[in-house]
Amino acid sequence: MPDILSAIASRGGVASTKWLLSQGFTGARLAGAVRGGFIIRARQGQYVLPSIGDHAIRAVRVGGRLASTSGAVAWGLAHPPEHSLHVHVPPNAARLRDAADRTKRLARRKGDVVIHHHALFFNEKSTALRVSVQDCLREMVLTESAEDAVAAIDSARARNRLDLIEFEELRASVPASRRNIVDASLDGVTEYLETVTRLRLARAGIPTRVQVNVLDERWIDLLIGDRLAIECDGKGKYERGATVDSDRKRDAFLEALGFHVIRLSYAMVLYDWDATLAMILAIMERGDHLAR
């Protein structure tokens, strides 16, 4: 049924029953498309394409669009490894449904779903399935941890999702008390773990330089002093095509140039930071971060 699929795709992947009927599709054809697995009836009066992904389908089923951290994921931004489903709904939204079952009402204290009723500052840049990048980031600045918010902003800038004007608009849209979070962002950092490591080192009084170019051949994730190179191995790195052998070659290249290289895993940074920081401080106490 390519005509129904094309029609829903033209609406961004989600379309109302009312609109589909106005385009000449009958209830019987819609029901047939659902039975055939071509489309999904996410909730009463709303049909979606399976290709929009589980998170978006669940947001539509609740009654809104992806927002905050969930929106950041949909926009391809850096995000924490675990997070709730964040859904933006209109202020007067009613009949919110369970994300997994459209026949059930959304529980008032449903822990795995966070509802956002706030007014959107940049709604003209939103899509049918997710609020704008700026609104996602704004909500993260207001409600999520500083580390998560800065990581998302960093990656938005590095991945050309947030230009300089949009960055300044975002900064102006948040309360003055939260602008320090926006100001902590840097351009050029794409990965969540790099940002979190940088911020935690900064809190410990250890300044770093990010994405340091070496002989136009290698980039060091974080550099402490003159020669302590911190490489951050994000979650799922080797699943994305990187290999242990390529990392060993990279480390050997840097060591040959006089750098001291240490690799930090997700677990070392997120779940064992005290021990990781102690290790870095011990290396610095020996002076291994200074030029020889």
**DSSP letters for 9-27:** HHTTSEEEHHHHHHTT--H
**Edge-to-edge strands, sheet with 40-43:** 14-16, 46-48, 40-43
- The pLDDT tens digits for 211-251 are 998 877 678 999 999 999 999 987 655 455 556 777 788 88
The average pLDDT across 201-212 equals 95
Work out the average pLDDT over 181-187.
95
Would the pLDDT of 190 be above 50?
A: yes
In the prediction, which pLDDT does 238 show? 45
User: What is the domain partition of the chain in residue ranges?
Assistant: 2-51, 57-183, 192-285
CATH among 1.25.40.10, 3.40.50.300, 3.50.50.60, 3.40.960.10 for 192-285: 3.40.960.10
Give Cβ neighbours of residue 108 (< 8 Å, ≥ 6 apart).
none
Q: How far apart are CA 42 and CA 11, in angstroms?
A: 15
Q: Which of 129-133, 168-172, 210-214, 241-245 has the lowest mean pLDDT?
A: 241-245
Summarised one tens digit per residue, pLDDT across range 31-61 is 999 999 999 999 999 999 999 999 999 999 9
Note the pLDDT of residue 109: 65
Q: Could you tell me how far CA 51 lies from the centroid of its own chain?
A: 19
> According to the model, what pLDDT value does residue 242 have?
56
Residue 235 is predicted with a pLDDT of: 67
* Among 12-21, 89-98, 151-160, the least confident range: 89-98
CA angle at residue 223 from 219 to 227, to 5 degrees? 100
Q: Is there a contact between 36 and 2 (Cβ–Cβ < 8 Å)?
A: no
**DSSP notation for 128-171:** SSB--HHHHHHHHHHHS-HHHHHHHHHHHHHTTSS-HHHHHHHH
> What's the average model confidence in pLDDT over 125-143?
96
The neighbour count for residue 58, using CB atoms within 10 Å, is 20
Residue 39 in 3-state DSSP? coil
Reported as type and span, the H/E element at residue 29 is helix 27-35
Report the pLDDT averaged over residues 273-279.
97
Compute the average pLDDT of residues 119-123: 92
Least Cα distance to 46 among 20, 25, 26, 16 occurs for 16
Mean of per-residue pLDDT scores for the chain: 91
pTM of the entire predicted model: 0.90
pLDDT band of residue 111 (cuts 50, 70, 90) is: confident
What is the number of other CB atoms lying within 10 angstroms of the CB of residue 266? 17
Lowest mean pLDDT among 3-17, 80-94, 167-181: 80-94
d(CA 127, CA 136): 12
- With vertex at residue 211, the alpha carbon angle to CA 161 and CA 192, rounded to the nearest 5 degrees, is 55
pLDDT computed for residue 110 by the predictor: 61
